[in-house]
Structure 1
Amino acid sequence: MTDVAIRTPAFTPEPVVDVDLAAPAGLPGDGGRAWVVVRDHGLPVGMLTVDLPASAGEIAAAFTGQRVADPAALRAARARARREGAAVTAVVCTRERPEALRRCLASLVAQDYPHASILVVDNAPTTDATRRVVAGFPSVRYVTEPRPGLSRARNRALAEVGTELVAWIDDDETADPSWLTEIARAFLDRPDAAGLSGVVVPGEIETPAQAWYEAFGGHSKGRGFTAADFTPGAMTQSPLYPLPPFGVGANMAFRTADLRAVGGFDTALGAGTLAEGGEDTLILTRLLLAGRPLMYRPAALTRHFHRRETAGLAAQMRGYGVALTAFYTSLVLHRPWLLVRLLRLAPAALRDLRSADSLRNVGLRDGMPAEFMALNRRGMLAGPARYVRAWWRSKRGR
């Protein structure tokens, strides 16, 4: 339950805009602030907030990230990816959110990558609304997965995909026009890699709940705009904790053969199950444990439209807690030899849970009500039992 009273204050919407440092533009306004996705020659390189109005010079001065060193080389690399990159299927798993899906598909059919196809998996539909939306996009393929659960929908997609690469995006997101180009470019650069995740920025900040979620870190908490490679055997960080740098299910892509080799997604995890999530974290961790390299490439950008209502965010925060400990329960139940490694990491996890300066709790300094984190902790306590129940249901085909 999420029966915690959280006062919703008055709020002035904060626009989310793109500014390219190669030809910067000012932002008008009469007070308030804006979220700026900073680009350089089209490449996403950072994100910042500015007070309105803001001149082009102020925005450029506020940016402290890395610029594109060689714009001509960037253009050539993108052109090569469009010529030589592998075929990719962009998959959207959805359930009864037709308007969000329509917005998502509009961004996918506008991709600038020529070797792409799009697949929608309609999970346990109760109406024909999703089918009717997809019918408005003739190039998009539609299949149904009658059993509820995001992992079942993802596994159905894996059974359908015939391309070398598969990319995943949520139905409440939109993809940057070069999203698939950047995914293909990354796999060309790292032919040994099994998967990647990109950056997820907010699509809008129009309500307190959306601002609080960004204060918590949004979908890309702790990842930033610096590309990273995670190669087992050469990593300074454990693949088991902390988890944020490895990726997020809202924006990830894989070599299809690698996903099949590790058995696909755990059907006791994911939205639509008692575990409420965690299937994306588990698949990334399983690949690392199998010795397969992963990449983080913020050039592959998507925009997420966060839950607008306080009650929805409260349910989400509790669900994140459930999913986190359900993920660890899955790891231990199916790989009991990992328990020793996890116990060694437990003191660091407890410190992060309690510390106000930890990445996990930093949002509390930015105005996020503490009640959300209390719900998150309640979810953590429920996660192990929920996973066991979900696993038993999945095992029995329920």
Structure 2
Amino acid sequence: MIRACGDERSRESPAPAEAQMQAGAEGSGRVNRCCWKCSVMQLKKFFWGVAVVLGVCSSWSGSTQLAKLTFKKFDAPFTLTWFATNWNFLFFPLYYLGHVFKSAEKQSPKQRYRECCRFFGDNGLTLKVFFTKAAPFGVLWTLTNYLYLHAIKKINTTDVSVLFCCNKAFVFLLSWIVLRDRFMGVRIVAAIFAIAGIVMMTYADGFHSHSVIGIALVVGSASTSALYKVLFKLLLGSAKFGEAALFLSVLAVFNVLFVTCIPVILYFTKVEYWSSFDVIPWGNLCGFSILLLTFNILLNFGIAITYPTLISLGIVLSVPVNAVVDHYMSEIVFNSVRVIAIVIIGLGFLLLLLPEEWDVWVIKLLTRLKVRKKEEIPEGNGDIVSGLPNKSRRTRPSMSSFAH
């Protein structure tokens, strides 16, 4: 009976070695499953990133080209800016639809609105908060888009799109000065590249007044865009998706209430005048607004499904797209100075995409490579040294046999 019980126990509970082997197999299986899940998630994120990059590139370059086409029939950049900004009101409704379809705990529009209003403070979106925290950003938003569109009238879309990429360098400089962000030598180099590219782009057209004004307008647009981003981080901090959607919709409300009078004044003073409303190309205006809205949605909410660096790459890729379209649609001359300026600004933009700890990663990679080389060299020497005695051991018996 004792042996039988012992046999049953041995069958029920495996030996320590077998238990360790089973635990190791289960642990390795869990690790493999986790690695597989992580790799699948990263792969999905990468493919979503490719889709977002294509969306950002096509929407940004398409809106730029459509604005250029619109000005041939409707020469009113500020009115176009006002019309497109009104579409920002759709941000919060679109976000709420996504919340309804995705979130497990569904809230009513009023509840979601109140929760997102906490971003503005404990009292929510009051009249004082509206004028102190929303109105300045509404002015900067309007200036950024108006200067960009007005520049499209003066110079070609390729120069406009590549010069606007300098806003990332301006963001770094302002963040370093105002927000006391970490100093990075590579980003200073990128800012120098951006400034050098602006000068070379101006030189490519021979410093003509028409091109100089256009370049100044784009640089002004990039500067106001950088100021918008830095002030947002300084005054409001970081915003969640719902809070960002509500904020952009509030900018549309500010645009309707306080900016509507400016297109009306420009119309009656005949600065931006059109003979009748039938002449207005409504298809181009709506198409431009939809593309700009799509671009801003991808730019603000694309980080939920992919990496921010990939989203920024879409802006850079819009430059060659605009260059190809300009090559076939307009009389742009891609001389060596313009090409070098485009490459320098693009390189500066890519340098700004490097993470803050990129130098630490490079140092770690170099140290690992050095350690591997040091480990490989002694192993190779050990094989050579160990090979010599083996040869001597093999030759000695043969010599003794010959002696006999």
Class of the TM-score when normalised by the shorter of the 2 chains: under 0.3
Q: Which structure shows the bigger proportion of residues in helix conformation?
A: 2
Specify the structure having the higher radius of gyration (Cα). 2
Q: Which structure shows the bigger proportion of residues in strand conformation?
A: 1
TM (norm. structure 2) is 0.26
Q: Select the structure with the greater relative contact order (CA < 8 A; seq sep ≥ 6).
A: 2
